[in-house]
Each structure stands twice: as structure tokens, then as C-alpha cells.
């Protein structure tokens, strides 16, 4: 079996085997969960008690501390999901495909939060909850890509066939991510351009930026923790007839 | 307290429903996700246990 070949090589590759990855992920989850809790607590403290009122938007701008982190995670998780799906497709590693399957629901939730918080931010600042501009529309398409990936996999009984079909959809859908990111440059959108970029200084107060970045880190750690927890459940579901799982259950 | 009282804090300068509507739904969504994953794990473990007891029939 493919995973055994990888495991024989030693090193970190051996964790491509579900039976070795399962306990490792179990040990990592509490650390990522603790980091997520601490970072979000700190980020919310900075966001609500340190960062000043915005000169033009008043207090409504404080939605930024969940809007931007969730929007970033929605795009980042999609790329990570497509990466693992592609690895699973190319190398036929079961765990990679399971990782992709585990990330999809979290990506969908992050996309939903970005759209929801964006709507509630749009109303006081633009006067509308929704507008069909390029940024908002492409983010909505991202939500449909996540949901389509999940629905497609759920519709196919054989897990390995579901992995492959999902992988194709995930890989094709990657084109949407740069479209979301650059939409505010390529088209004339109601949505503002990036406040943070690598090429120029951020166009916001330092404490606002700090709060936003800390929250983004917190969302990142949360996403890792919950995806690892979900992939463990998926491993249990798929490998339940293997001996190591039965041993694990027998010992518990 | 920079807000001069909790009333001001919850009011969010008149944007309370927008700000707390965003944060509230986020907290609920993440709480539901954590709950769903823990239920999924519990179901999977029960299935493993059933398989082990009954000689590994399963689907």
C-alpha cells in the first residue's frame, strides 16, 4: 500500500499513515485550541478596548476584527484544501484527501462569516447589505465552491472515488481565489481596496492593524484545531475496519 | 474603561445591532461547528465499538 511505502522511508513522511497521524493530531489539537483562545481574547481586547474610534465610520468599523480575518481564512483554507486534494489525487495518499475533506466545512463557515459580517458592515457604511460587485460576488462563488465540494463528496458512496471527484472540483475552483483577491483592483468595486499589502504601508491606525492581525492568527489557529479534530473523526469513520482502530477502541 | 460605562459599550455608538450582529453570529457559527465535530467523533467511535464487538460487519 502507498502509505506503507511512505512510512518505510521514515522521517515526517511516516505521518502520512493514518494510524500514526491520528495520535499525533490528537496531541496537537489542545495546543492549537489554546493558542486560538488566547489570541482571540487578546485580539478582542485590543479591538474593543485599545483601538480608537474610527474618524469616518465611528464604532461600526470594529466589525473589521472578524470580517478581515474570516475573509482571509476563507481564501487561504480554499488553497490549502485544494493543495491536499491535489496531493491526494497525484500521490494516492488517503490522508491527504481526508485533510481536504476535513477543511471544507471550516472554509465554508469562514466564507459565511465573511459574507455575513460584510453585509452588516455594508449597511451602515454603504447603505446596503448587498451589492453585486466583483468582490462580493466572487466571495459568494467561493461559498458555493465549498458547498459544491461537500455535496459532491457526500453524493458518492465510494470514499476514494469521492476524493478524486472532489479533488478535480477543488483544483478547478482555485482560479476563483486570485479573482477574489484582485477583484478590487481589476474592477471598479464598491468594496474598498486592500488596507494591508506587502508593497505599501497599511492605511490604518497601528492598534487597529495589530488587533486585526492578532484576530487573524487566532482564526488561523482555530481553523487548524477544528480541521484536525474533524480529520480524526473522518479517519475513524473510514478506517473503522482496520486492526489499529479496533485495538485503539479496545484499549480505551 | 475607555467607553465610560457598559451602556455605551453595548450601544457601539449607535451601531450596536451591526457590530453585535456580526460577532454574535460568528460565535454561534463556531460553537455549532465545534458541537458538530464532537458529535461526529462520538458517532464514529460508537461505530468502531460496534464493529469491534460484532466481528467487523459494518458498511
**Mean pLDDT for each consecutive 10-residue tract of chain A (252 residues)?**
50 84 96 98 97 91 97 98 97 95 98 98 94 95 98 97 97 97 90 78 85 98 98 95 84 67
Mean pLDDT score, B40-47: 95
Instruction: Look at phi and psi of residue B4 and say left if phi exceeds 0, alpha if psi is from -120 to 50, else beta.
Output: left
Residue B58: per-residue pLDDT: 47
Query: Would you say residue B6 lies in a domain?
Result: no
Contact between residue A227 and residue A36 where contact means Cβ atoms under 8 Å apart: no
Residue A9: per-residue pLDDT: 52
Query: Would you say residue B40 lies in a domain?
Result: yes
CA dist A5 to A12, A132, A239, A243, Å?
Answer: 13, 50, 18, 19
* Interface contact B26-A121, CB threshold 8 A: no
Residue B2: per-residue pLDDT: 80
Q: Which of B2, B15, B52 sits opposite A246 (nearest CB)?
A: B52
Residue B55: per-residue pLDDT: 67
Interface of A with B in 91-130 (CB under 8 A): 105-106, 109, 112-113, 116-117, 120-121, 123-124
* Interface contact A62-B47, CB threshold 8 A: no
Residue A50: per-residue pLDDT: 94
Query: Would you say residue A76 lies in a domain?
Result: yes
Q: What is the model's pTM?
A: 0.92
Contact between residue A44 and residue A65 where contact means Cβ atoms under 8 Å apart: yes
Number of domains comprising chain A: 1
Q: How far B48 CA sits from the closest chain A CA (Å)?
A: 5
Query: Would you say residue B50 lies in a domain?
Result: yes
Range(s) of the domain holding residue B55: 31-59
Residue A199: per-residue pLDDT: 73
Query: Would you say residue A2 lies in a domain?
Result: no
Number of domains comprising chain B: 1
Query: Would you say residue A74 lies in a domain?
Result: yes
* Interface contact B48-A53, CB threshold 8 A: no
Q: Closest-CA residue in chain A for B30?
A: A109
Residue A188: per-residue pLDDT: 85
Range(s) of the domain holding residue A80: 64-205
Tens of pLDDT, residue by residue over B2-38, are 898 999 999 999 999 999 999 999 999 999 999 999 9
Amino acid at each position: 500500500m502507498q502509505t506503507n511505502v511512505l512510512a518505510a522511508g521514515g522521517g515526517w513522511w511516516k505521518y502520512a499513515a493514518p494510524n500514526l497521524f491520528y495520535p499525533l493530531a490528537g496531541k496537537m489539537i489542545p495546543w492549537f485550541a489554546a493558542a486560538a483562545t488566547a489570541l482571540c481574547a487578546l485580539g478582542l481586547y485590543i479591538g474593543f478596548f485599545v483601538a480608537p474610534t474610527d474618524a469616518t465610520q465611528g464604532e461600526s468599523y470594529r466589525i473589521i476584527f472578524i470580517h478581515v480575518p474570516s475573509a482571509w481564512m476563507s481564501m487561504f483554507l480554499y488553497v490549502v484544501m485544494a493543495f491536499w486534494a491535489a496531493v491526494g489525487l497525484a500521490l494516492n495518499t488517503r490522508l491527504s484527501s481526508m485533510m481536504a475533506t476535513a477543511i471544507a466545512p471550516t472554509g465554508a463557515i469562514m466564507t459565511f462569516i465573511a459574507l455575513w459580517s460584510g453585509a452588516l458592515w455594508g449597511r451602515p457604511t454603504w447603505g446596503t447589505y448587498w451589492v453585486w460587485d466583483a468582490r462580493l460576488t466572487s466571495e459568494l462563488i467561493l461559498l458555493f465552491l465549498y458547498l459544491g465540494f461537500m455535496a459532491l463528496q457526500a453524493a458518492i458512496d465510494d470514499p476514494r472515488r469521492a476524493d478524486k471527484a472532489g479533488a478535480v472540483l477543488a483544483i478547478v475552483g482555485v482560479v476563483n481565489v486570485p479573482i477574489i483577491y484582485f477583484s478590487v483592483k481589476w474592477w471598479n468595486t464598491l468594496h474598498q481596496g486592500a488596507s494591508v499589502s506587502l508593497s505599501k504601508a497599511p492605511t490604518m491606525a497601528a492598534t487597529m492593524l495589530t488587533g486585526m492581525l492578532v484576530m487573524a492568527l487566532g482564526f488561523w489557529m482555530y481553523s487548524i484545531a477544528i480541521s484536525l479534530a474533524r480529520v480524526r473523526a473522518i479517519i475513524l469513520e473510514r478506517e473503522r475496519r482496520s486492526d489499529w482502530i479496533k485495538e485503539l477502541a479496545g484499549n480505551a | 474603561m475607555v467607553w465610560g460605562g457598559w451602556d455605551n459599550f453595548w450601544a457601539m455608538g449607535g451601531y450596536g445591532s451591526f457590530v453585535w450582529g456580526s460577532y454574535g453570529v460568528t460565535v454561534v457559527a463556531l460553537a455549532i461547528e465545534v458541537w458538530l465535530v464532537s458529535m461526529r467523533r462520538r458517532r464514529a467511535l460508537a461505530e468502531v465499538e460496534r464493529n469491534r464487538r460484532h466481528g467487523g460487519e459494518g458498511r
